[in-house]
Structures are given as structure tokens and as C-alpha cells.
Structure 1
Amino acid sequence: MKIAYLGPEASFTHHAVKKAFPKDDLVPFATIPDCLEALTAMQVDRAVVPLENALEGSVPITVDYLFHDVDVYITAELVSPIEQHLMVHPVNESRWEEVTKIMSHSHALAQCHKYLYYRFRGRILEPSTSTAAAAHYVNEHPEENVAAIGNSLAAKTYGLKIVEENIHDFHFNHTRFVVLSCTAATDHLELTGASHKSTLMVTLPSDDRAGALHQVLSAFSWRQLSLSKIESRPLKTGLGNYFFIIDVEQSMDGVLMRGAIDELEALGCTVKVLGSYQKHSVPTL
């Protein structure tokens, strides 16, 4: 299979996809939309993109694309530990504390907010399309005293020196990556920690009646279906109009899950099953 992922090589997504698909053809793309567009154009068989970080929450562009722009399904989830390091070009190693600019993905910069505030207050913080893209830039511009935030694989791949390790603000830093396909399926991967999960996208009834969200949650509550996440995102049709993305710790095979969806539709909700899949743990770098 051909697997699209948010690149370039040595990004956190690249590490996760290598562990999940060690024998497949991995194809890097510069942005999350590029990955998803390649999938829907049938240029690749799967796409792997970040969905949520434990410190910074959901990746909005992924969630919004899944709802508004593409008709694809989650076939597996990869949960990977994230360790952020500060790295510079070897020629600038002796003066790394004088860097004028620090580059990384916007989520990585936010994950290291306190460190950057106290150590590099006033320096330019420049978002890049991925942590690996930032490392690649530093590698190609030794004349600039600029640093990147990324993983140890990026430092090794692009020949950079790690000058400060584990600079993220909180210890438990993990990211959820989702494996996407144009057809509803479940990918059975040879990784540890597999457990079942389903993700739904729900739009409330158009009559905007009081208690509608309470009714949605009750459909899961009385069936004792555990929700690990519920999040609202704008429908982009006006203020106060939202859809909800809901994670349920249960596969779609159970009669209770089918009953919950039938109840939601009877209430007038629009429901799309984004995927029924297994959740896997990815080993650290």
C-alpha cells in the first residue's frame, strides 16, 4: 500500500507511520490538506495525520477537513509519546542561546510555551508546516542563527545538534494520529495496546430546541456507553451553529451502539460514523 503522511521525513507523523506500516510505501506531503486530497484522489491507499495532542487539544484543520471537505473514514488510531528538543545547526552550537528565531509546528511551539517565554522572551517564534520542516530549514540555512523544535530523529536526519532536551512544558505529552481510508474498514496493525473505539460526527436538529445536546448525551448514558471525548466545532454557517465530534469506547458491532445511533437519528440529529477502529500505542523514539 501507499501511505501518505504529514512530512517531511523525520516528523512525528513519519515516526508513527513507520511503526504502523513498516513494509509499505510511505509518501510525505507538506500539509494535512495535501495528505487528505491525495487520499481522495486515489493517489494513495491510506493517509496518516495528527488529530489531537494531550497538551494543545485537537488539530482544527484535521477535524474541519474531515467534516466539511472530504468523505473518508478512520481505520486505526496511533497514540505516540512526544518529546520536544531544541536543536541548532552545528556551526551555531556555541552560540545557541543567542538564536534570533525559533521555528516549529504551531502545536510544538505552544507545547513549549513556558520554556520559550522564560528562556527566549522576545525572540521570533515562526510556525512551520511540521517539526521536521523546521529542522530541514535550519539544516539548509547555517548562516542564520536559528533554532528548531522537534524530535531526536529530526536532529539525526538533518544533522542538527540538540542543545536542550525535553523542553515541553508538561511531562505527559502524547499525540493521536489517525489512519484514514476512502472506505470504512478496520486496519489490524501489529502494535501494542489495541482497544476498540468509534468516532461519530453529530449535527443537532435544525429546530434548535432546548435540551437537544442533553438528549444526545443521554442516548449514550443510559446505555452505559463511555464517551472519551466530545468536542464542538463551527458549522461555518453562522455564530452559535456547531457540529460535535464524539469518541465512544466501543466498537460499532454492539447492539447498544446501533441503538444509540438510531435514537439520535430519531431525535432529528444527523450522524456520520467516522470510523470504528482499534487504538494502538506507538513506542517512543
Structure 2
Amino acid sequence: MKIGYLGPKNSFTYQATNAGFPNLIQLAFQTIPKCLEAISDQRIDMAVIPIENSLEGSVHASMDYLFHSKDLTVKQEMILPIRQQLMMVDPNKKPEVIMSHPQALAQSQAYLNEHYPTTPIVQTPSTTYAAEYASAHPDEAVAAIASKQAADAFSLRIIGHDIQDNDQNETRFWVITKRCTQDSRQQNVTKGKLSFFLTLPSNQPGVLHKMLAAFAWRGIDLAKIESRPLKTSLGQYYFIIDLTVDENEPLIQYAFEEIALLGAEIRVLGPYEIRMISASGEQ
């Protein structure tokens, strides 16, 4: 089997993929849409994409693509602690520029403000790109923010360990597969989560409350709710909602039926199990 991931190699998405599926053929893709398109085109069987970071929030490119793709669903969720390292070729030099992906820079802002307040910052397409550039240009005194695995891969020395602003920094990754012809809610998952997209029938006072009440009075735990623009006109949104699955799938199904009778549109992702991965890549 083949599994795709948002590359390049040694990125955090690669770490999650390698920890969860070390024996599958792994293919890197430059963007989330290209990665997910490869599933629809049957070039790969599964894909791993980032869905949410605990500090920076949801990955909108992932959410929006999945909302508009009717043939994809979630097979599994993996949670990876994110540990950012500052690295250089020569640890005795003072960095003249610091490079990394915008999210890694944002996650390390307090450290950078304290230790390198005047050092120029350059955004790169990925943390791996920054590490590779620093390795290939030792005379430029470039420092990169990336993972320990990237430091090892490009023979860089870590000059700042675990520089992320919050030790609870984690990223959720979804393992995406093509939707089966059978109802995906029939998967044998008794403890985990289920996500679904909700589109309201109209923008009327109290309509969202009516939808959510279908879960509240049944005692179904909503783990997350977030809105995203439909990109049709101002004030038009869809919602992504996560539910906790705990042998309560019949109640969830009844709630879906009630919401459908109220005129809303629902598309289910999952249910899926949750796997925790350590910062070293071990499960």
C-alpha cells in the first residue's frame, strides 16, 4: 500500500506518517490539495495531513478541501507533540538570519524575542526547507527552526533546544482514505471521535442552537465546533464539529436524523480512533 503525506521528508507530517505507517510506501506531496487529489486519483491509498495545531489553530487548507470533497473520509487521528529546535552548521557563530515556516516562527516567538530580537526573520515553505538551506549555505550563518530529526538529517548542531513557547504544543493529523460505498459510520470504533460538516438550512435566529440541542439533550459530548466561510457571500458559513464516540453511536445517529429533519445538510467523517505519538516518534 502507498501512503502520501504533506512533505518534504523530515517534516512533522513525515514524522507522524513514519511513526504510524513505517512499513508502507511513503510519498511526499508539496501541498495538501495535491496530497488529497492523489487519493481520489488512486495513486495512493491513504494520506496524512495536518488538521489542527494547539497553538495556531486549524489548518484551513485541510478543512476546506475535505468540505468540498465528497469521496474522502477520516480513518484515524494521530497526535504528535511539536518540539522546535534552533540549529546551525557552526554553533559558535551568531545567527545572521533565522529561517523557518511561518507556523514554527509563530510557535517560537517568545524565545526569538528574548534571544534574537534584532535578527532578521525569513519565512520558508517548510521547516525542512529551512534546515536544508542552512546546511547548504554554511558561510551565511543561517539558523533554522525545525525538528531534531531535521537537524540529524542535515548534520546541523542544535543551539536552542525545545524553543516552542508552550510545552503543550501538539498537532493533530488525520489519516484520510477514500470513502467506502457502505456507510462510514458502520466502522467498528467504540472509543474515539467522529467529525462531521454541518451546513445550516438558512440564516435564521436560533437555527444553530436547534441543531446543537439535538446532541445536548442526548448527552453527546461535543469536542469541538468551528465555523468556516462557505465562500459564497458574507455571513454564509459551514461548521466542522467533533463528537466523542463512547459506545453511543445509536444516539449520534438519532441526532443526525433529527437535524436532517430540520433541513440541515450533514456529511460524516469517521468515526476514527486516536493514536498518540511521542516527540521521538514512538507510539
TM value normalised by structure 1: 0.90
Judging changes above 3 Å, is the alpha-carbon distance between structure 1 residues 200 and 251 closer, same or farther for their aligned structure 2 residues?
Answer: farther
Judging changes above 3 Å, is the alpha-carbon distance between structure 1 residues 267 and 3 closer, same or farther for their aligned structure 2 residues?
Answer: same
Q: How far off is 1:284 after superposition?
A: 2.0
Which amino acid in structure 2 is aligned with residue 11 of structure 1?
Answer: S
Are 1:200 and 2:189 counterparts? no
**Paired residues of 1:48 and 1:179 also in contact (CA < 8 A):** yes
Could you list the structure 1 runs, at least 4 aligned residues long, displaced by more than 4 angstroms after superposition: none
CA RMSD of aligned residues (A): 2.0
1:178-217 CA-to-partner distances (Å, cap 9, x unmatched) read 000112469x9xxxxx9411000001113x1110111111
Q: Distance in 2 between matches of 1:252 and 1:199?
A: 15
**Aligned length, in residue pairs:** 274
Q: Distance in 1 between matches of 2:119 and 2:198?
A: 42
Q: Distance in 2 between matches of 1:204 and 1:122?
A: 48
Gaps of 5+ in 1: 189-193
Larger deviation, residues 241-250 vs 104-113: 104-113
The answer for the alignment partner of 1:95 in structure 2 is: 93
The answer for the alignment partner of 2:178 in structure 1 is: 182
Within the candidate set 243, 247, 252, 2:238 is matched to 243
1:90-137 CA-to-partner distances (Å, cap 9, x unmatched) read 3xx2223x322x222222111111112232234333333322222122
Q: Distance in 2 between matches of 1:35 and 1:221?
A: 36
The answer for the alignment partner of 2:56 in structure 1 is: 56
Within the candidate set 129, 132, 135, 2:128 is matched to 132
**Paired residues of 1:196 and 1:277 also in contact (CA < 8 A):** yes
In the TM superposition, 1:1-285 aligns within 5 A as 1-68=1-68, 71-90=71-90, 93-96=91-94, 98-100=95-97, 102-184=98-180, 195-206=191-202, 208-250=203-245, 254-285=249-280
**Paired residues of 2:127 and 2:144 also in contact (CA < 8 A):** yes
Q: Distance in 2 between matches of 1:120 and 1:199?
A: 41
Which amino acid in structure 1 is aligned with residue 115 of structure 2?
Answer: R
TM value normalised by structure 2: 0.91
**Paired residues of 1:7 and 1:133 also in contact (CA < 8 A):** no
Alignment identity in percent? 42
**Paired residues of 1:2 and 1:26 also in contact (CA < 8 A):** yes
**Paired residues of 1:78 and 1:177 also in contact (CA < 8 A):** yes
Q: Distance in 2 between matches of 1:182 and 1:124?
A: 44
Q: Distance in 2 between matches of 1:252 and 1:103?
A: 47
Q: Distance in 2 between matches of 1:251 and 1:68?
A: 28
Q: Distance in 1 between matches of 2:69 and 2:136?
A: 34
Which amino acid in structure 2 is aligned with residue 237 of structure 1?
Answer: T
1:61-97 CA-to-partner distances (Å, cap 9, x unmatched) read 111111135631110000111111111123xx2223x
Q: Distance in 1 between matches of 2:196 and 2:250?
A: 16
Gaps of 5+ in 2: none
1:249 is paired with a residue of what secondary structure? strand
Q: Distance in 2 between matches of 1:94 and 1:181?
A: 47
Q: Distance in 2 between matches of 1:240 and 1:24?
A: 43
Q: How far off is 1:251 after superposition?
A: 6.5
Which amino acid in structure 2 is aligned with residue 235 of structure 1?
Answer: L
